A and B are shown apart, each in its own frame.
Chain A
Amino acid sequence: MHYTVCKELNSVILSVSSQINFVCLISRQGKVRLTKWYSTYSQKERSKAIRELSGVILSRGPKLCNFVDWKGHKVVYKRYASLYFCICIDEEDNELEALEVIHHFVEILDRYFGSVCELDLIFNFHKAYYILDELLIAGELQESSKRTIAKLISAQDNLVEVAKEEASSLSNIIAQATK
């Protein structure tokens, strides 16, 4: 079901179509490890959503299905070790595919960090975000090849390394010159 909107005098038809509304990683203790919002939520709504969802999801038993209904949306979650990966999708979206997206993300993280664990994601949270940004944009899947994503991330990491080296050699030169 799509809402049609007409705003003011511009003839605007906006159809809120299916997409990922947000992604979040919650630890077994209910700590947030990553959140990415693709639909507009105020800061208040964000913390409320996380609070409610961690309440529901963390209390679900292990053998149950990986979906919970939440405010007209569906949240697909999967537990990997101590972390719950959650994706909020729309009513008409494919839940099974959302599970594959989660697994895809986990495999890429795993490949990047070398058997990823929660601590990796805590201390290198920005890296996890960079990877997610290569996987999803605007709540849509961007790339189905893990290898391509790995390549893109390492190319960008290299750019950062090169810049760092340049900066340090520059400061060495300055230090030498001012000695």
Chain B
Amino acid sequence: MNPFSSGTRLRDMIRAIRACKTAAEERAVVRKECAAIRAAINENDQDYRHRNLAKLMFIHMLGYPTHFGQMECLKLIASPGFPEKRIGYLGLMLLLDERQEVLMLVTNSVKQDLNHTNQYIVGLALCALGNICSAEMARDLAPEVERLLQFRDPNIRKKAALCSIRIIKKVPDLAENFINPVAALLKEKHHGVLITGVQLCTDLCKVSPEALEYFRKKCTDGLVRTLRDLVNSPYAPEYDIAGITDPFLHIRLLKLLRVLGRGDADASDSMNDILAQVATKTESNKNAGNAILYECVETIMSIEDNGGLRVLAINILGRFLSNRDNNIRYVALNMLMRAITVDAQAVQRHRATILECVKDSDASIRKRALELVYLLVNESNVKPLTKELVDYLEVSDQDFKGDLTAKVCSIIEKFSPEKSWYIDQMLKVLTEAGNFVKDEVWHALVVVISNASDLHGYTVRALFRALQTTAEQESLVRVAVWCIGEYGDLLVSNAGMLNVEDPITVTESDAVDIVESAIKRHASDLTTKSMALIALLKLSSRFPSCSGRIKDIVVQHKGSLVLELQQRSLEFNSIIEKHQNIRSALVERMPVLDEATFGGRRASSLPNTVSTSSGTAVKLPNGVAKPSAAPLVDLLDLSDDVPAPSSSGGDFLQDLLGVNLPPATQSEGTNQTPKAGTDVLLDLLSIGSTPAQDNNLSTPDILSSGQDNKPIIASLDLLAAPSNMMDLLDGLGPAPPKPAENGPAYPSIVAFESSSLRLTFNFSKQPGNPQTTMISGSFTNLSSNLFTDFVFQAAVPKFLQLHLDPASGNSLPASGNGTITQSLKVTNSQHGKKPLVMRLRIAYKVDGKDVLEEGQINNFPRDL
């Protein structure tokens, strides 16, 4: 006999591992054990096979590789005894998952066990099948499982029911086979069977419209009766939790009623009474009762409208919200978010309490509350809500500030009633949390400031004051420096004083001081420093008396290790020193930035354009945008992780500002043509240096040496005519999208576009059925690699129904040499009230590697 084969007992091995003081020791013990187990496997040792597998499971749990033991599971399952099979199935579920091919080998054994005379062995097989079966196994074994739904022992019936759930999830077209057996399960008395039967029924309704129709007609009344009996049942010790008989069954029944009642007035009507009873009679002092109430509220909100019930439900949520238990408040916030689509007014009533939750000490609650507040904001309450949130920014946790800042900025941009309010609020945010403000947000602010000519003086003074109190917030520094550079004269002259302002005395040298401190500040990054240099150049012309001092500051950077700063320092120095005559023309105030252009460029990466912008209907070149105002709660969670197309708007502004960052930090422009356009502009303004693109221009390097003055003057003539510049800028906006053809009633859209893939949708409607839209999607591969295993998935919110037809294929040739087409049918139950929205997920393989792309389509034609 092999000396290793007997080995240590399981208990001893666990002890040995627990006794290890270091990770290295543990690894050594595990290595030794694994070696012994491998040896035993090679010897085909039978006596200790189950013990070895148990050891392997423990080792697996510690995170070590155990694939060599997979075949042992199969051998144990194939052996005749119950103990071997029990451990074998456990190992199968732990060590394998549905993707391993080994799993296919077990199909036969499982089939035999499903037909075994020992019901416990049948139970083991059902359990394993329910937990890890693949689509292939599901197809092979579905008839067995279906038969077991009628097995004499209820414990097998309930296992078979749950196993069926897995099967229909893997292979939905098997669903219809299960409809009849399930209808029988719903009449059972045994709670286990009833719970699992109800669950299976719910899942059937989700995958099969026929099943939904069938159960709605045949079973709604019976289920209502079952729930009534349960609610009114006397004390039953076996199922009692906190004075309630079987809350689990309560919850599952409520869930199924929700599925049956949604979108069907008759079914909804028949369950109104029992829902009212559950909502009023359930004890709410224990978690179990609250769980039922929570489920009941959700059902009331989802089924067809009954005013009285909804009031009841909203009241329950109000009670939840003021509960002292954090769990209850959390679920209340969650539920209110869903309720907002149903009854926004009722949710608004709880605004004050919700706002308090934003300030809670619990991060989970804060996050939920913030999302909810975001949905609650409208034109009428934006001012007080924003004030509360901005005030809270000051004291909030560091790790919450990012989320909070993003939401506050988004609210301010979306709802700002006037420019001065917008600028005020943004300045507050920049002062409190400037480091968390995203680039595109402060870029937008600069655009707005540039357009608000009557507020230039006010803004620059306010920024000056803010910068004096705090210089820690990077984006505040940037905006302030930019404004001081542009409007420094207004700062000193106090021009355009508003009534609300306190007078302020700033000397020219004060203004230079503050810009100097920004450039010298250690924490300032390249962007800030570059902006400060430009501001200084501009100030040198606005304040001739400070020119000498500014020159000294600029010169300090001529030895900078950062090429950008060094070059600029040399250029600017030469302007100040040698080209006094043209300097003032050179550094004139920047032409007003075109909001529409900026907004349009920006729209692809941000949910909302600045509300003060002229509001040109900007069609997104790419339908993938962050969710807009639509109060679709489910969609919102996307907003954090959408891989937003890089902010081309940012690029644009950066170019205008002349901040030419090294390639690493420069965001990748999606619009190539406009970019080239701005480059021309930027070179004309002489504040950037993009050597690669300089050849666009007939007068290269106008500033570098200045040995020849003629071309400079020539190009400066251009500068003197800002209207020309504006024309240049105007040309940059994305051309208004023209419908591809006028034939169909709805223009086709580019629903999704990434660097490698494009999806276009064509729409059509059948006459007489306005709710249903037929969509034909066509995928084009933009990359140079073949895509295989191409799968398209789509998801829609609850008010939509989606049906996908099979795709025309699953491989997509490279470089647009072919397309996959797939038809979708979307039924909009809120036709005319809500537009279509869709999330999509596209999976495929490139060279055997999985690629997943996700996005959201918000640019559906409005009236679909």
Contact = CB atoms under 8 A, between A and B. Distances in A.
Contacts of A72: 637
A10 B521 CA distance: 64
A125 B58 CA distance: 8
B65 to A, nearest CB: 8
Nearest to A14: B172
A114 B634 CA distance: 44
A142 B190 CA distance: 12
28 contacts: A5-B791, A5-B793, A6-B792, A6-B807, A9-B807, A14-B172, A19-B165, A33-B61, A35-B61, A36-B131, A64-B326, A64-B364, A66-B327, A69-B364, A95-B327, A95-B330, A96-B287, A99-B291, A100-B248, A122-B18, A137-B163, A138-B166, A142-B196, A148-B155, A156-B82, A156-B86, A159-B120, A164-B83
A63 B334 CA distance: 19
A160 B82 contact: yes
Nearest to A147: B238
A144 B127 contact: no
Given A1-B795, A35-B61, A69-B364, A13 B83 contact: no
B251 interface: yes
B376 interface: no
B790 to A, nearest CB: 9
A65 B330 contact: yes
Given A37-B97, A65-B329, A148-B192, A5 B804 contact: yes
B634 A1 contact: yes
B57 A138 contact: no
Contacts of B716: none
Interface of A: 1-17, 19, 32-38, 40-42, 47, 63-69, 72, 91, 94-97, 99-101, 104, 122-123, 125-126, 129-130, 133, 137-138, 140-148, 152, 155-156, 159-160, 163-164
A142 B637 contact: no
B327 A97 contact: no
Nearest to A51: B63
A100 B173 contact: no
Interface in B31-76: 54, 57-58, 61-63
A143 B802 CA distance: 34
A37 B95 CA distance: 11
Nearest to B154: A148
B407 to A, nearest CB: 15
A19 B157 CA distance: 20
Contacts of A97: 247-248, 251, 291, 295
Contacts of A152: 123, 155
Contacts of B127: 133, 137
Contacts of B251: 94, 97
Contacts, number: 230
A148 B326 CA distance: 33
Contacts of A36: 93, 131
A15 B361 CA distance: 37
Contacts of B441: none
Given A140-B196, A144-B192, A17 B206 contact: yes
A169 B327 CA distance: 56
B637 A145 contact: no
Contacts of B295: 94, 97
A72 to B, nearest CB: 6
A138 B131 contact: yes
B61 A32 contact: yes
B715 interface: no
A100 to B, nearest CB: 6
A73 B222 CA distance: 33
B806 to A, nearest CB: 5
Nearest to A125: B58
A125 B61 contact: yes
Contacts of B796: 1, 4
B241 interface: yes
B110 to A, nearest CB: 14
Interface string B354-371: 000000011111010000
A16 B158 CA distance: 21
Contacts of A4: 793-796, 802-804
Contacts of A95: 327, 330-331, 334
A143 B247 contact: no
B575 to A, nearest CB: 53
Contact of A1 (B195, B362, B797, B803): B797
A144 B361 contact: no
Contacts of B165: 19, 138, 140
A126 B87 contact: yes
B362 A137 contact: no
Interface string B115-137: 00010100100110011000000
Given A4-B804, A141-B252, A142-B159, 10 more contacts: A1-B839, A3-B841, A6-B793, A14-B169, A94-B295, A97-B291, A122-B14, A125-B57, A137-B127, A144-B195
Contact of B63 (A17, A33, A47, A140): A47
A96 B290 contact: yes
A12 B172 CA distance: 6
Contacts of B793: 3-6
Ranked nearest first, the 8 interchain pairs of A and B with the lowest CB-CB distance are A96-B291, A65-B326, A6-B804, A137-B162, A137-B130, A138-B166, A138-B130, A64-B362
A125 B94 CA distance: 12
B822 A137 contact: no
A2 B249 contact: no
Given A10-B806, A96-B327, A2 B172 contact: no
Contact of A10 (B173, B287, B291, B803): B173
B606 to A, nearest CB: 22
Q: Most B CB atoms within 10 A — which of A14, A96, A129, A140?
A: A96
Interface in B210-249: 238-239, 241, 246-249
A125 B155 CA distance: 23
A110 to B, nearest CB: 15
A53 to B, nearest CB: 13
B759 to A, nearest CB: 14
A133 B131 CA distance: 9
B637 A34 contact: no
B326 A63 contact: yes
B223 to A, nearest CB: 17
Nearest to B203: A17
B54 A126 contact: yes
Contact of A156 (B120, B162, B802): B120
Contacts of A94: 251, 291, 294-295, 298
A159 B206 contact: no
B157 to A, nearest CB: 11
A145 B120 contact: no
A10 B839 CA distance: 22
Contacts of B189: none
B810 interface: yes
A100 B291 contact: yes
Contacts of A147: 238
Contacts of A13: 172, 207, 803-804
A7 B247 contact: no
A110 B367 CA distance: 35
Contacts of A99: 287, 291, 327
Contact of B120 (A3, A11, A125, A155): A155
A163 to B, nearest CB: 5
Nearest to B172: A13
B102 to A, nearest CB: 14
Contact of A40 (B98, B163, B792, B839): B98
Given A2-B206, A143-B192, A69 B166 contact: no
B520 interface: no
A38 B248 contact: no
Given A5-B791, A47-B63, A97-B291, A65 B362 contact: yes
A12 B191 CA distance: 32
Contacts of A47: 63
B199 A140 contact: yes
A11 B274 CA distance: 38
A141 B195 CA distance: 8
